[in-house]
């Protein structure tokens, strides 16, 4: 296995691990799935709620990744695009560190619309942005020219879809395991007590991922 293969493998693991991280974070909604099942009084409501949360999260990921998949065909400006994306992610992390308040509009979404809530929560917290540097790393190419650009654009959309699917599955698995354990063993009181605050860790992780995404393209630009 060459260096390039190891890099791709590491990036895919980053997609999976970020999914687990999002899933464990209560801000992405697993406590709402527990609450929904407890309020309805039946276990079948839990997987239904988790599917709704997963659907919202998936579409939020695609809403962020697809625009980058469209511009990624600009092979000559690949490094510039990656620098811009990294700066956006870092800026979002710094903003969340400064502004700790949760968006008020999320509280106005009815509990019955979990997919919509999940979609808006993922956008508001920058969950999709966290994937952008990783995704652009997976889309990196060395060749230039019209044929390479066309191939990259097609592959970028497929990669965006694959990243969103793998990430969402990992998130749902992690959040679902927590939700099931809480629902079966502890109940509603545990939901209230386990709503731990990951705001600072979340913001810091955006800064770290954004900085990581800046490193390679900045080196490319300085060497060119």
- The pair of structure tokens assigned to 83 is 């620098």
- In sequence order, which residues have a C-beta less than 8 Å from that of residue 204 and are 6 or more positions away? 93, 97
Instruction: Identify the pLDDT of residue 137.
Output: 77
Task: Considering only residues 213 and 49, tell me which one the structure prediction assigns the higher pLDDT.
Answer: 49
pLDDT for position 151: 44
CA-to-CA dists, residue 124 to 79, 101, 104, 120, 191, angstroms: 26, 11, 10, 6, 22
Please report, for the chain, the start and end positions of each structural domain, with discontinuous segments joined by +: 3-223
pTM exceeding the 0.95 threshold for the entire prediction:
no
Dist CA 172 CA 154 (whole Å): 27
pLDDT of residue 152: 44
Read off the pLDDT of residues 120-169 as tens digits, 9 standing for 90 and up.
888 887 888 888 888 877 776 444 444 444 444 457 788 889 999 999 99
Q: What percent of the chain has pLDDT over 70?
A: 71
Which residues, including other chains, have CB under 8 Å from residue 59's CB and lie 6 or more apart? 115, 119
Mean of pLDDT over the chain: 77
Higher-scoring residue by pLDDT: 138, 76: 138
Is pLDDT of 7 > 90?
Answer: no
pLDDT of residue 224: 61
Does residue 191 or residue 150 have the better pLDDT?
A: 191
Q: How confident is the model at residue 198 (pLDDT cuts 50, 70, 90)?
A: low
Cα distance between residue 103 and residue 187, in whole Å:
27
- The CA–CA distances, whole Å, from 27 to 20, 121, 139, 223 equal 13, 8, 29, 41
Closest CA to 18 of 190, 112, 138, 155: 138
| Tens digit of each residue's pLDDT (9 = 90 or more) over 17-75 | 889 988 988 878 888 888 888 877 777 889 999 999 999 999 999 998 888 777 655 55
């Amino acid at each position: 296995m060459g260096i390039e293969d190891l890099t791709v493998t590491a990036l895919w693991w980053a997609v999976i691990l970020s999914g687990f991280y999002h899933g464990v974070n209560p801000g992405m909604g697993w406590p709402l799935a527990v609450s929904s099942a407890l309020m309805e009084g039946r276990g079948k409501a839990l997987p239904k709620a988790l599917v709704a949360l997963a659907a919202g999260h998936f579409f939020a990921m695609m809403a962020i990744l697809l625009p980058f998949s469209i511009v990624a065909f600009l092979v000559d400006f690949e490094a510039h695009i990656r620098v811009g994306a990294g700066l956006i992610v870092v800026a979002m992390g710094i903003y969340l560190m400064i502004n700790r308040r949760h968006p008020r509009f999320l509280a106005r979404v009815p509990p019955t619309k979990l997919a919509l809530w999940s979609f808006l929560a993922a956008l508001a917290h920058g969950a999709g942005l966290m994937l952008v540097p990783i995704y652009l790393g997976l889309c990196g190419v060395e060749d230039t020219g019209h044929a390479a650009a066309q191939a990259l654009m097609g592959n970028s959309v497929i990669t965006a879809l694959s990243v969103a699917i793998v990430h969402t599955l990992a998130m749902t698995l992690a959040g679902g395991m927590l939700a099931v354990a809480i629902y079966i063993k502890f109940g509603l009181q545990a939901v209230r007590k386990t709503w731990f605050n990951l705001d600072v860790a979340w913001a810091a992780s955006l800064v770290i991922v954004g900085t990581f995404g800046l490193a390679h393209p900045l080196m490319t630009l300085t060497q060119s």
